[in-house]
Structure 1
Amino acid sequence: MPTTSHPQTSDSVFPAHTPLVTEPLGLWGSFRAARRNLLGILPDLAVRQPMVSGRTGLRWHMVMDPDAIRRILLENVENYPKSRATKNILRPAIGDSLFIAEDAHWRWQRRTAAPVFSHRNVMALAPVMSAAAQRSIARIHESQGRPINLMDDMVRTTFDVISEVTFSDGDTFDSAAVHSAIDAYISAAGRISLMDMVGMPDWIPRPSRIFGGPAVQQMKQVADQAIEDRRARGPSDVPDLLDLLLAGEDPETKRRMNTSELRDNILTFIVAGHETTALTLAWSLYLCAFDPQVQARARIEAQQALQGDPNGITNLPFLRQIVDEALRLYPPAGILSRTAQAPDTLCGREVKAGDTVMIPIYALHRHHQLWENPNAFDPERFADRKAINRYAYLPFGDGPRICIGASFALQEAILILAHLLANFEFSLVEDCPPELVMILTLRPDNGIWLRARPVHDASE
């Protein structure tokens, strides 16, 4: 398995990245690498060629060509549902929620949930995000210049946000226990199974996915009770996510979500809605520490914007560029996996029904034909978004299944980042670089360790 290269100081050329494999791994080698870190199966050819194909039990294709990706995600999307392995991993925890469902069952849920994430509703959540940022600032102050794991604190901060916007009225719902139960399940069940790689039928149990079942079932029962209690009590004075989903209905069929459908989608939003944003924030802070000049410029912008409005997020273009670049270098969803339903042609190559078709976002975002100096941290590349090929940059996917919470995640990341940079100067911790590991999401396996110095101290 490849090792991860890291900068030891801000003078290093590139921020943390993983060199890709240059030799065929074979079935057993691929299985061992994928169990440890999915980045370990990505070939170096994936950042240099438009498409790479092979067979590891099942036939597979990695697609990095923007036109072919557009076909997969938009033009012929019905032919490329989420892979069976992805569904098998997640369904026991989040059921047939928006993330898993297909066809008509997905469409009516999407229509029902879309208004919840309208621009108006998302903007109204800015005070909740700012309040969570202030609590983070207080915790960081307590470090008094000692190294602090910002990954852990960003998880706590974004979990504060998603908990408040989901269950804001004092429900007897232990959201932390919900996250713990799902995280335990994913840690055990989220790793690739050899049975999946060789294409064994879904009805054959995967031993690792039996683990954590009781905790997940108990979590679902608690969530169901909280939903029924809210349904009986009525909405909060200021509607939260649960209220909006309870009131939501499919504009075409007038169908509303039942308790199990509400629960599966709430659990999906709680887990996906905070971890991906926490990762984006932690990587953004790491990159700012990596490049002090970028950090200084971002701090000026943040301080000026927040002086007029502590919830201000409308005039932070450079912070948006930093977040965009963090999502390019460290996309939370590092690989999208699909299963072809019928024969197709991608990049002039035959794709057969049953083939696994992967879009390795990590490789796509570092492709040498699509990005100049792809491993470098350069937020200026996003100064002109129109110059970037739409299907070369996919942190939230695209097409009809683009992430429903993308605007929520971006607003939260930019606003919290602004508060933190306005208050602290962050620096790298020598000999403690982040290590990239991807199971279901791309994480810093050993955390993001930085020093945080209050800005008023740094100026003295």
Structure 2
Amino acid sequence: MNIASVRRPIIPPTPPRAPDNLSFFGRIAVIRQNMIATWGQRAYEEEIIQGRFLLHKSFILNQPDAIRHVLMSNYENYARTPAGIRMLRPVLGQGLLLAEGHAWAHQRRTLAPAFTPRATANLVPHMTAVLDETIAKLDTRTNEPVDLREIMQRVTLEIAGRTMFSFGMDRHGPTLRNFVMEYGERLGRAYFLDMVLPVSWPTPMDRARARFRTRWTEFVTMLIAERRASGKKDGAPPRDLFDLMDESRDPETGKGFSDEQLVDEVATMILAGHETTATALFWALYLLALDPDTQEEVASETRGEHLDSMADIDRQKFTRAVVDETMRLYPPAFLIARAARGKDNVAGAEVSKGDIIMIAPWLLHRHEKLWDQPNAFVPKRFMSKEPPDRFAYLPFGAGPRVCIGAPFAQAESVLALARLIGAFRVELADATPVIPYGVVTTQPDHSPMFRITRR
């Protein structure tokens, strides 16, 4: 994709690339600290890289047709890896993100009505209310250092609470953030035994994760009980995602969710929704602070707009391109790992049962054969008449298991970025480069301070 640009685009900082000959144990050591720092230059240039992981072959796929095959054409042959299940099950249980086979199909069909464009449009007032309150609070903090990463976490958590339960998260927000931080800092990291032992063989960290899951499940159950206690008038239309999810029925079987299943679905939507969107918004604000000219383009597009409906959001074409480019450079899910259930042939490579397939949006989105200026921040590439190949850009995955909440997340991100940049000029108050690292999601290595001023 060729890009014509008058200005020289910014190239945000990244971790140094690993030596291509990094040893197995050297790679394991780096994985625990920063997964995206384990890949060498070859991974950004070659379409398929074959290696070995213990007794099995491993493949890194950067070829869109090969990715299409694994994620769409033959997706049933590829399951989550033991390490992936270990990382996610304690917080997501048997929810949609981890379910397989008939259980996944049932959950997907049952949840689908809650995430249609119409359902998302009905939730926009919840989003705008939170953003109005946030802007009012930020008005009192202009010209002083502010931690916009923490503020974005609060914003998206509040939106998650109101769109899910119709109540604010003032009381429960700190507890939920503590759960997220506790898990990400220690339990969400892959340890050597997590990667080599079958899921049925508990590792020492699995025991700690099990204790975490007990506390986490009790917390989500409490939130659901509080929401149910607030009631709903008979015959009244759904007022939030919880109503939609609680009342949804599988169109094929007529079955809804049990209370236990509902806990896992609610946990999945709250965590997958608020944490990934908060991270994407932080990176977008960071990039716009590095690139004042692009920031002014966003502000110009939002000027005079009410920004309180889905139609208003859809008109923010450039802001949407900024969000898309942010998720290209900093994909929330930086790695999709799958284990082959049986034999297959992927782009001429013979795959055996147990082989590991890695599709890394971090690599794919910066691949030198797929993108012009792959490391540069160029939002207008997403306004081109030649959009990127569907399987070269995977911020929400692809195929039957594409993220069901993608339209919600995109609307929330565009709305939040447009409203915030329309209200404030954002600058960095901290000159230290922010380096991305991969642990569960693509996180910054520290939270820089920003300075905001009213437009």
If the length of structure 2 is used for normalisation, what is the TM-score?
0.92
> Relative to structure 1, is the Cα distance of residues 209 and 165 closer, same or farther in structure 2, using a 3 angstrom cutoff?
same
Give 2:366's aligned residue.
Answer: 366
Corresponding letter in the other structure for 1:133? L
Give 2:57's aligned residue.
Answer: 59
Distance in structure 1 (CA, Å) of the matches to 2:73 and 2:66 = 9
2:232 is the alignment partner of 1:235: yes
> Relative to structure 1, is the Cα distance of residues 175 and 108 closer, same or farther in structure 2, using a 3 angstrom cutoff?
farther
2:199 counterpart (199, 202, 206): 202
Q: Residue 53 of structure 1 aligns to a residue in which SS?
A: strand
Distance in structure 2 (CA, Å) of the matches to 1:246 and 1:171 = 20
Unaligned runs of 5+ in 1: 1-9, 456-460
Corresponding letter in the other structure for 1:439? V
Distance in structure 1 (CA, Å) of the matches to 2:24 and 2:206 = 21
Distance in structure 2 (CA, Å) of the matches to 1:310 and 1:357 = 38
Distance in structure 2 (CA, Å) of the matches to 1:171 and 1:384 = 40
Q: Residue 142 of structure 2 aligns to a residue in which SS?
A: coil
Distance in structure 2 (CA, Å) of the matches to 1:74 and 1:24 = 32
Give 2:183's aligned residue.
Answer: 185
Q: Is the 8 A contact 2:310 2:411 kept in 1?
A: no
- Mapping of 1:130-145 within 5 angstroms? 130-145=128-143
> Relative to structure 1, is the Cα distance of residues 196 and 54 closer, same or farther in structure 2, using a 3 angstrom cutoff?
farther
CA deviations over 1:155-214 (Å, ceiling 9, x no partner): 1100010011112158998354244224423432211121233x2222332222322544
Q: Which moved more, 1:248-257 or 1:92-101?
A: 92-101
Corresponding letter in the other structure for 1:299? A
> Relative to structure 1, is the Cα distance of residues 390 and 33 closer, same or farther in structure 2, using a 3 angstrom cutoff?
same
Instruction: Note the C-alpha offset of 1:24.
Output: 2.0
Q: Residue 326 of structure 1 aligns to a residue in which SS?
A: helix
CA deviations over 1:373-413 (Å, ceiling 9, x no partner): 10011011001364311111010001010001000000000
Give 1:106's aligned residue.
Answer: 104
Q: Is the 8 A contact 1:185 1:211 kept in 2?
A: no
Distance in structure 1 (CA, Å) of the matches to 2:168 and 2:131 = 21
- Mapping of 1:131-170 within 5 angstroms? 131-169=129-167
Distance in structure 2 (CA, Å) of the matches to 1:243 and 1:421 = 33
2:74 is the alignment partner of 1:76: yes
Give 2:392's aligned residue.
Answer: 392
2:241 is the alignment partner of 1:244: no
- Mapping of 1:328-367 within 5 angstroms? 328-367=328-367
What number of residue pairs does the alignment pair up?
Answer: 445
Q: Is the 8 A contact 1:332 1:441 kept in 2?
A: yes
Q: Residue 115 of structure 1 aligns to a residue in which SS?
A: helix
Distance in structure 1 (CA, Å) of the matches to 2:377 and 2:167 = 42
Q: Is the 8 A contact 1:231 1:246 kept in 2?
A: no
Instruction: Note the C-alpha offset of 1:128.
Output: 1.4
Distance in structure 1 (CA, Å) of the matches to 2:266 and 2:376 = 37
Q: Residue 201 of structure 1 aligns to a residue in which SS?
A: coil
2:452 is the alignment partner of 1:452: yes
Instruction: Note the C-alpha offset of 1:231.
Output: 5.2
Q: Is the 8 A contact 1:227 1:259 kept in 2?
A: no
Corresponding letter in the other structure for 2:97? F
> Relative to structure 1, is the Cα distance of residues 182 and 350 closer, same or farther in structure 2, using a 3 angstrom cutoff?
same
2:8 is the alignment partner of 1:26: no
Q: Is the 8 A contact 2:124 2:309 kept in 1?
A: no
Distance in structure 2 (CA, Å) of the matches to 1:47 and 1:355 = 22
> Relative to structure 1, is the Cα distance of residues 12 and 142 closer, same or farther in structure 2, using a 3 angstrom cutoff?
farther
Distance in structure 2 (CA, Å) of the matches to 1:144 and 1:175 = 24
Corresponding letter in the other structure for 2:359? I
Instruction: Note the C-alpha offset of 1:442.
Output: 0.2
2:46 counterpart (38, 41, 49): 49
Unaligned runs of 5+ in 2: 1-6
Instruction: Note the C-alpha offset of 1:314.
Output: 2.5
Give 2:258's aligned residue.
Answer: 258
Q: Residue 125 of structure 1 aligns to a residue in which SS?
A: helix
Give 1:5's aligned residue.
Answer: none
Instruction: Note the C-alpha offset of 1:416.
Output: 0.8
Distance in structure 1 (CA, Å) of the matches to 2:36 and 2:168 = 41
Give 1:321's aligned residue.
Answer: 321
Distance in structure 2 (CA, Å) of the matches to 1:173 and 1:256 = 30
Q: Which moved more, 1:271-280 or 1:297-306?
A: 297-306
Q: Sequence identity, in percent? A: 35
Q: Residue 337 of structure 2 aligns to a residue in which SS?
A: strand
Corresponding letter in the other structure for 1:14? I
Q: Residue 124 of structure 1 aligns to a residue in which SS?
A: helix
Distance in structure 2 (CA, Å) of the matches to 1:411 and 1:305 = 15
Distance in structure 2 (CA, Å) of the matches to 1:174 and 1:156 = 11
Give 2:279's aligned residue.
Answer: 279
Q: Is the 8 A contact 1:179 1:271 kept in 2?
A: no
Q: Is the 8 A contact 1:424 1:452 kept in 2?
A: yes
Corresponding letter in the other structure for 1:202? V
Q: Residue 387 of structure 1 aligns to a residue in which SS?
A: coil
Q: Residue 313 of structure 1 aligns to a residue in which SS?
A: helix
Give 2:33's aligned residue.
Answer: 36
Give 1:431's aligned residue.
Answer: 431
CA deviations over 1:108-134 (Å, ceiling 9, x no partner): 000000110111110111121112222
Q: Is the 8 A contact 1:130 1:311 kept in 2?
A: no
Distance in structure 1 (CA, Å) of the matches to 2:225 and 2:432 = 47
Give 1:6's aligned residue.
Answer: none
Distance in structure 2 (CA, Å) of the matches to 1:393 and 1:234 = 42
> Relative to structure 1, is the Cα distance of residues 170 and 323 closer, same or farther in structure 2, using a 3 angstrom cutoff?
closer
Q: Is the 8 A contact 2:90 2:212 kept in 1?
A: no
Corresponding letter in the other structure for 1:323? V
Give 2:86's aligned residue.
Answer: 88
If the length of structure 1 is used for normalisation, what is the TM-score?
0.91
